[in-house]
Amino acid sequence: MNRESWAVVDLGFGDAGKGTVTDFLVRDRSAGLVVRFNGGAQAGHNVVTDDGRHHTFSQFCAGTFAGARGLLGPDFLLHPLGMLVEAEHLQEVGIADPWALTEVSRDARVITPYQQAAGRLREALRGEGAHGTCGVGVGECVADSLFHPDETLRAGDLSNASKVRQFLETQRERKRAELDGLGAEDLSLFEDPGLIDRVIDAWSDVSAHLNLLDRGEVESAIADEPTVIFEGAQGILLDETWGFHPHTTWSDCTFTGALTLAGDRPVKRLGVTRAYSVRHGRGPFPTAGTMPVREEHNVDDGPQGTFRAGVLDAVLLRYATAVCGGIDALAVTCLDHPRPEQFCTAYRTSGGVLRDLAPGEPADLTHRESLGAQLTSIEPVMQGADLLGFAEDATGCQVELESRGPRPRDKAWVRPQG
């Protein structure tokens, strides 16, 4: 049996076009299954079909329009009510029963309204030192699962109302006390006596829709499928380990999760970048402002903050490729936008010219924090080059897929795939 798998990962700060690339791969490779192996409800993967339907995929897989099943893996961070809202929108754009296409690992962690509120309150308390957030509660949920592992709620627990109630009551009291101690302003959510009842009601609605898989079922769902696409979320430069702390996301944004779930399947690692660099919200971004950009589906609102763009940055591309262990193929999107002819090849610093960032040891978050600080004080060295050649040089990998627009028909392989 032909067993083909692709893992799609963003080489930058996110927003490179993983959704639209996933949709194309599902169609072109006739994939039956798309696996979300990292991140969770904070993802926003835009897909536009050839007939003009648009959806921002968050907790349903970007292969949904193309008819693939979706699997939310064991590391996924589930926001059950967000799924409900998203399912409604999917129905409006013609997916009659998005739930039927979706399977969920019982181990997926569940984000609660208390975590969502606490995440935002914490970010508000940081003031000028804000880290950048989507406001979904992902970080809070991951932190809780690390520091209070026995208090972690998982997708498999959602139908157990008494467990959910006990869990939420414990969490409410712990977070209220903690946030009160920090001086958080608005704790009304934690004092709302009816919230838990409403959450339980609403979650039980969602739970009735979920097709839950235990560990063995997840493994066989992936193993039995001829063609699988692993749809990454966020971007390597936001990775919980390799990103520029503290402006990171609580998720492994490299290929690791995909390779683990793939088991013995061979996986083609596809790195995705736009023809330029983008970043939503706070954090270092050396080439920010070096080119104008039009943006349709990413807008400057919500807790994420502003959307910035700049030319491609070879230093960051080299860094991203190095920390994720290398890529097998490169996809470049947004080639329909005006192409810059100058690119950032190195940084000018007070100590001379810097071509590479040393990743440091995995555990050394302080090192990445100082890298991030350094990135805010350097000046990009710009050189004229051909875009695709520049990207290939920086990543050490050939461009296999080019995208000139949001729809599947706007994409083409550079050379035929086997």
Partner 1 sequence: MGYGEYSHAAHVALTTARAPRARVFAQPRCHPLMDPRDVARESRDSDDHPDSLGVVFALDVTGSMGDIPRKLASQTLPDFMGALLDAGVRDPQICFVAVGHAGQDNAPLQVGQFESSEVLIDQWLTRLYLEGGGVGGHEAYELAMYFAARKIALDSVDKRGRRGLLFLTGDVAPNPAVSRIEVERVIGDALDADVPIRDMIDELQRTFEPFFLIAPGAPRTIERAWRDLLGDRVVRLEHADDTAHVASGLVALLEGAVPSLGALVGRLGAAGVPRKQAARIARALVPFAASIGRDDAPPPPSRDFDLPRGDPPSGLQR
| Binding-site ranges for partner 1 (CB under 8 A) | 10, 13-15, 41-44, 56, 58-59, 79, 81-86, 89, 111, 113, 116-117, 133-137, 188-189, 191-195, 197-199, 202, 233-235, 238, 249, 280-281, 302-304
Minimum CB separation from partner 1 for residue 14, in Å? Answer: 2
Considering the complex, what minimum distance in angstroms separates the CB of residue 290 from partner 1? 20
Q: Do 259 and 265 form a contact (C-beta atoms < 8 A)?
A: no
In angstroms, the CA 114 to CA 261 distance is 30
CA distance 221 to 71: 9
76-104 b/e (C-beta count within 10 Å ≥ 16 → b): bbbbbbbbbebbeebeeeebeebbebbbb
Which is closer to partner 1, CB of 333 or CB of 345? 333
Q: Do 133 and 116 form a contact (C-beta atoms < 8 A)?
A: no
In angstroms, give the least distance from the CB of 346 to partner 1. Answer: 25
Minimal distance, residue 183 CB to partner 1, in Å: 13
CA proximity to 272, closest of 206, 329, 352: 329
For 351, phi then psi, to 5°, come to -95, 15
Calculate the dihedral angle through the C-alpha atoms of 335, 339, 341, 347, rounding to the nearest 10 degrees: -80
Q: Shortest Cβ distance from residue 185 to partner 1 (Å)? A: 12
- Shortest Å, Cβ 11 to partner 1: 12
> For partner 1, which is the closer residue by CB, 74 or 232?
232
d(CA 65, CA 215): 27
**Residues classed as catalytic:** 15, 45
Task: Closer to partner 1 by CB, 238 or 357: give it.
Answer: 238
Q: How far is CA 169 from CA 85, 139, 140, 160, 165, in A?
A: 25, 20, 17, 14, 6
Handedness of CA 249, 252, 253, 258 (dihedral sign): negative
Residue among 56 and 342 whose Cβ is closer to partner 1: 56
Q: Which is nearer to partner 1, 29 or 368 (CB)?
A: 368
- The Cα–Cα gap between 175 and 303 comes to 21
Residues whose CB is less than 8 angstroms from the CB of residue 73 and which lie 6 or more positions away in sequence, other chains included: 35, 36, 37, 38, 105, 108, 218, 257, 261
Q: Which is nearer to partner 1, 44 or 246 (CB)?
A: 44
